[in-house]
Amino acid sequence: MASTSNINPQDAKGIEYTSSDENVLQKHVAFFDRNHDGLIYPWETYEGFRAIGCGVLLSTVASIFINVGLSHKTRPGKFPSPLFPIEVKNIQRGKHGSDSGVYDTEGRFVPLKFEEIFIKHARTHPDALTSDELEQMLKYNREPKDYGGWIGGLTEWKILYFLCKDKKGLLHKDTIRGVYDGSLFQRMEEETKSNKKEN
């Protein structure tokens, strides 16, 4: 079995956070803050999912699931809002258990944990995950009786796999990296717009 000592330093080049207060998790969700006011409402989540090519049903379910689940966690001490906004500045408070650990408790990116995904689970291809390997990773990350975390992790990764696997059924490392820093969403929106123009 590979160990973390086998990580090529070049693999993490450009992905380490540079200051103690940089919150990459905020960048991850900022795409869904469509009007850039620091709040993500369910209709913005819906619009974001539609922008990256998701259908109406998936976008609707995702917007309800995500906003209901995260609103109260990211708005500590505030009276619950019936509009279920998510506060981007506090998004790290919504981090669930049974995850990969790639985001730390402050929402910062942890390169070693990112590389561990592939060291531990990418058996068929070193820089990609198959459906079975993804399933194995989710089971590996499960914490006992953390049912909310299990559901959160399963939902996130299954949607990503559904949307971004290649024709061989592989979810590539650069794609997963793009999810963590939010850059993938922008690329997917541009591709969706381009495809609509072509059709």
SS3 for 168-190 is CCCEEHHHHHHHHHCHHHHHHHH
For residues 127-143, average pLDDT: 96
What confidence tens digit (pLDDT) does each residue in 144-162 have? 999 888 998 999 999 999 9
For residue 19, what pLDDT is reported? 40
- pLDDT-derived band of residue 198, with 50, 70 and 90 as boundaries? confident
Residue type, 59: S
Longest alpha-carbon distance in the chain: 50
Helices first, then strands: H and E counts in the chain: 8, 4
For residue 22, what pLDDT is reported? 54
The answer, yes or no, to whether residue 180 has pLDDT greater than 50, is yes
Q: Which CATH class is domain 21-94?
A: mainly alpha
- pLDDT-derived band of residue 196, with 50, 70 and 90 as boundaries? confident
For residue 95, what pLDDT is reported? 87
For residue 9, what pLDDT is reported? 35
User: For the chain, what is the mean pLDDT?
Assistant: 87
The answer, yes or no, to whether residue 36 has pLDDT greater than 80, is yes
E strands, the chain, are 39-40, 86-87, 128-129, 171-172
Q: What are 139's two structure tokens?
A: 């089971």
The whole-model pTM stands at 0.81
For residue 105, what pLDDT is reported? 87
For residue 20, what pLDDT is reported? 40
User: How far is 105 from 164, CA to CA, in rounded Å?
Assistant: 27
Q: What are 134's two structure tokens?
A: 């993804």
Comparing 10 with 54, which gets the higher pLDDT?
Answer: 54
Sorted by where each begins, the domain ranges of the chain are 21-94, 97-191
What confidence tens digit (pLDDT) does each residue in 57-107 have? 999 999 999 999 999 999 988 888 999 999 999 999 988 888 888 998 888
User: How far is 190 from 59, CA to CA, in rounded Å?
Assistant: 18
The answer, yes or no, to whether residue 2 has pLDDT greater than 60, is no
Q: What are 53's two structure tokens?
A: 């090519």
